[in-house]
């Protein structure tokens, strides 16, 4: 029980290895965070908020190393020795107030004018670091680890922490049930060697962490930890997925959680919104309609789940390493410690799900009587994507949906107060010659739903034209592009994705040239080609009582959708 565990902690009944493991993890997370400019900046901001100097914050690792088991016990006694523990569970729905639609007048910005404060910022000279493109020939090493297995290597002499990612070329779209299998692999032990708890203990003793996860296209295994323990950690990992020991209780827990979650789907607005949006874009190809049925979930067994994961490892694989060891040293260690199946299957990943075509403006309407907010999704199928379109697409996205600088938030939220939040983006596939799509979202008060949709459609059909914004858009795209270098631990996976997309060099080189050559007329031409006179599909989750039935029919053909249509059971 919780109380018993707290009592044991306060009495010092904890293993010393566990304390050391926690310290190792804190140190590793600190060092990894420093490798990202964003994370490091946030860490320094937090230090400033806590009245710490940079020097004091940089001493964090030494402070962690000095912590002892006795220190942990002392803190536990001070803060956890409470007289009781209270747990309260409430069932039911809170009483809801009806909020009338306020009659706000539009706030019209001062178009074409610049404040004194803005002028000061615009005139401030900023030193931009020189652009350093990724060199596909020299910034990393690449070779064959085994037939069908490609190894990518990046040397990082500044850290004693290695990162290793195994990326198998099949995901949940290829192998149904993989989500369950990967989830359980994170709780697995090694047959005849370690229970799940004992295996975590062994990895902790090595100062390493392992994680299994997947998406629709790939299955991943990540291993991080102390460089000196790479070989032993890899051998332990290899045994984990060659001989996984899965606990029947854990499977029952996994199945129980899934079935409980599915029971709530017909009431949970957020999940309904996600599923309806999937159905809007992909129809019968929605992931909520291609998942395992309830009976298939209930029929999952240890052997089935183990076999599902093993199936994912039988596809073409890439291995990504970052650390202190040289390419030859790493290849030697991994050859000794990792096993790969023979005759690996060809990978068709990354996958692209076929989208739905619409002959006329169509509205998919799902009623949720408890919804106070209307969730609205907009979808327009696009044409096949070509790499040379990238500059104008980026410029359009920044102009139309670029945060608070884009038309969507400015017109729908700032000017007319129709949205809690709103967004829009022209989405491109991971590789060329596959279909693009335009997607939009607006979250609004239920009784504002129709007005909000009408204004959103007006933006799409009659996009306002502000050619003077192109100067700032091009400047933003240029700076964002040249400063968006991946970290050393991200480098090879980013490069692999770009190679798959058809690039033979860092695409940012041509993108900068493309941005500089893109005009507002190019953006307008793209908009007219991709949006004018195309049917628009809309998905809405809302309380029907809050919307005018006659008004919604003026926006398009209305199709009432039930939860049974968008969820597979």
Q: Which position has the higher pLDDT, 447 or 389?
A: 389
Q: Residue for token digits 């940079």?
A: 54
Contact criterion met (CB below 8 Å) for 363 and 559: yes
Reported as type and span, the H/E element at residue 80 is helix 69-80
Which band of pLDDT confidence, cut at 50, 70 and 90, is reported for residue 300? very high
Q: What's the first-to-final CA gap in the chain, in angstroms?
A: 35
Task: Label residue 383 left, alpha or beta by phi (over 0 means left) and psi (-120 to 50 means alpha).
Answer: beta
Per-residue b or e along 5-20, where b marks 16 or more CB atoms closer than 10 Å to that residue's CB: eeeebbeeebeeeebb
Contact criterion met (CB below 8 Å) for 484 and 476: no
Q: What does the pLDDT read at residue 40?
A: 86
**Residue 415 pLDDT > 70, yes or no?**
yes
- Summarised one tens digit per residue, pLDDT across range 537-556 is 999 999 999 999 999 999 99
What number of other Cβ atoms are within 10 A of residue 322's Cβ?
27
Burial (Cβ within 10 Å: 0-12, 13-18, ≥19) of residue 434: middle
Residue (of 538, 485, 531) closest to 393 by Cα position: 531
Average pLDDT over residues 504-528: 95
Task: Label residue 186 left, alpha or beta by phi (over 0 means left) and psi (-120 to 50 means alpha).
Answer: alpha
Q: What is the 3-state secondary structure (H, E, C) of 188-199?
A: CEECCCECHHHH
Residue (of 554, 545, 412, 548) closest to 98 by Cα position: 545
Q: What does the pLDDT read at residue 120?
A: 86
Residues 6+ apart with CB under 8 A from 218: 167, 168, 169, 170, 171, 349, 350
- Summarised one tens digit per residue, pLDDT across range 9-36 is 888 888 888 888 899 889 998 888 888 8
Q: What is the 3-state secondary structure (H, E, C) of 121-138?
A: HHHCCCCCCCCCCCCCCC
Q: What does the pLDDT read at residue 411?
A: 85
CA distance 306 to 187: 12
CA distance 391 to 397: 10
Q: What does the pLDDT read at residue 96?
A: 63
CA distance 39 to 519: 35
Q: What does the pLDDT read at residue 267?
A: 85
What number of other Cβ atoms are within 10 A of residue 359's Cβ?
7
Alpha helices in 130-265 (DSSP H): 178-185, 196-205, 230-242, 248-264
Name the β-bridge partners of 141: 153
Reported as type and span, the H/E element at residue 220 is strand 219-226
Q: What does the pLDDT read at residue 94?
A: 63
Q: Quote the tokens at residue 163.
A: 């990162």
pTM, 2 dp? 0.88
CA distance 327 to 321: 9
Name the β-bridge partners of 167: 220, 318
- Summarised one tens digit per residue, pLDDT across range 460-505 is 999 999 999 999 999 999 999 988 889 999 999 999 999 999 999 9
Q: What does the pLDDT read at residue 346?
A: 97
- Summarised one tens digit per residue, pLDDT across range 50-108 is 888 888 888 889 989 999 999 999 998 888 886 666 777 766 666 666 666 666 666 66
Work out the angle at residue 168's Cα, subtended by the Cα atoms of residues 481 and 381, and round it to the nearest 5 degrees. 55
SS3 content of the chain, % helix, strand, coil (to 5): 50, 15, 35
Residue (of 516, 521, 561) closest to 540 by Cα position: 561
Q: What does the pLDDT read at residue 102?
A: 62
Average pLDDT over residues 217-242: 94
- The mean pLDDT value of the chain amounts to 91
Range 510-513 contact pairs with CB under 8 angstroms and sequence separation of 24 or more: 511/390, 511/391, 511/394, 511/477, 511/481, 512/131, 512/478, 512/481, 512/482
Average pLDDT over residues 174-190: 93
Tell me phi and psi for residue 471, to 5 degrees: -60, -50
Q: What does the pLDDT read at residue 44?
A: 87
Q: Residue for token digits 């829009």?
A: 424
Tell me phi and psi for residue 108, to 5 degrees: -90, 120
Least confident of 138-142, 314-318, 370-374, 513-517: 370-374
Burial (Cβ within 10 Å: 0-12, 13-18, ≥19) of residue 418: buried
Contact criterion met (CB below 8 Å) for 230 and 325: yes
Burial (Cβ within 10 Å: 0-12, 13-18, ≥19) of residue 371: buried
In the chain, pLDDT over 90 holds for what percent of residues?
66
Average pLDDT over residues 170-190: 93
Contact criterion met (CB below 8 Å) for 400 and 424: yes
Residue (of 386, 493, 382, 494) closest to 439 by Cα position: 382
Which band of pLDDT confidence, cut at 50, 70 and 90, is reported for residue 372? confident
**Residue 302 pLDDT > 90, yes or no?**
no
Measured between alpha carbons, how far is residue 463 from residues 163, 374, 406, 412, 514 in Å? Answer: 46, 24, 12, 13, 23
């Amino acid at each position: 029980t919780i109380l018993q565990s707290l009592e044991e902690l306060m009495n010092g009944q904890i293993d010393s290895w566990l304390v050391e493991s926690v310290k190792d993890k804190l140190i590793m997370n600190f060092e990894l965070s420093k490798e990202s400019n964003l994370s490091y900046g946030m860490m320094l901001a937090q230090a400033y908020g806590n009245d710490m100097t940079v020097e004091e914050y940089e001493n964090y690792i030494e402070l962690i190393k000095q912590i002892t088991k006795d220190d942990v016990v002392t803190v536990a006694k001070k803060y956890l020795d409470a007289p009781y523990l209270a747990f309260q569970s409430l069932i039911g729905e809170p009483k809801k107030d009806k909020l009338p639609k306020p009659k706000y007048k539009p706030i019209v910005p001062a178009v074409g004018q610049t404040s004194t404060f803005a002028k000061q910022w615009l005139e401030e000279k900023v030193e931009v670091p020189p652009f350093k493109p990724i060199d596909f020939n020299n910034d990393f090493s690449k070779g064959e680890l085994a037939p069908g297995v490609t190894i990518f290597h990046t040397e990082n002499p500044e850290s004693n922490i290695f990162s290793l990612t195994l990326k198998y070329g099949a995901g949940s779209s290829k192998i149904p049930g993989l989500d369950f299998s990967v989830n359980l692999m994170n709780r697995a032990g090694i047959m005849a060697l370690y229970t799940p708890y004992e295996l975590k203990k062994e990895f902790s003793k090595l100062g390493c962490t392992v994680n299994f996860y997947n998406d629709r296209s790939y299955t991943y295994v990540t291993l991080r930890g102390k460089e000196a323990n790479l070989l032993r950690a890899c051998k332990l990992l290899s045994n984990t997925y060659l001989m996984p020991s899965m606990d029947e209780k854990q499977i029952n827990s996994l199945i129980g959680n899934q079935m409980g979650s599915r029971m709530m789907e017909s009431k949970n607005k957020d999940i309904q919104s996600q599923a309806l949006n999937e159905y809007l874009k992909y129809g019968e190809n929605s992931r909520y309609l291609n998942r395992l049925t309830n009976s298939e979930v209930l029929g999952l067994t240890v052997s089935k789940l183990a076999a599902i994961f093993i199936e994912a490892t039988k596809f073409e694989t890439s291995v990504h390493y970052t650390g202190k060891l040289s390419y030859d040293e790493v290849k030697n260690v991994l050859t000794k410690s990792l096993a790969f199946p023979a005759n690996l299957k060809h990978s068709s990943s990354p996958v692209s799900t076929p989208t739905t075509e619409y002959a006329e403006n169509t509205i998919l309407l799902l009623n949720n009587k408890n919804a106070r907010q209307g969730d609205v999704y907009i979808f327009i199928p696009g044409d096949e994507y070509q790499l040379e379109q990238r500059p104008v697409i980026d410029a359009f996205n920044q102009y139309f949906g670029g945060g608070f600088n884009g038309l969507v938030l400015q017109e729908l939220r700032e000017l007319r107060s129709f949205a809690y939040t709103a967004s829009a983006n022209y989405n491109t596939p991971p590789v060329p010659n596959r279909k693009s799509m335009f997607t939009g979202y607006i979250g609004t008060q239920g009784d504002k739903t129709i007005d909000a949709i009408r204004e959103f459609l007006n933006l799409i059909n009659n996009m306002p034209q502000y050619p003077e914004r192109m100067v700032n858009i091009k400047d933003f795209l240029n700076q964002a592009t040249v400063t968006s270098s991946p970290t050393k631990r991200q480098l090879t996976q980013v490069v692999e994705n770009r190679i798959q997309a058809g690039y033979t060099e860092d695409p940012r080189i041509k993108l900068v040239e493309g941005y500089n050559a893109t005009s507002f007329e190019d953006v307008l031409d793209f908009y007219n080609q991709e949006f004018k006179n195309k049917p628009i599909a809309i998905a809405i989750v809302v309380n029907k009582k809050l919307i005018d039935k006659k008004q919604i029919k003026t926006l398009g053909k209305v199709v009432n959708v039930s939860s049974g249509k968008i969820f597979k059971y």
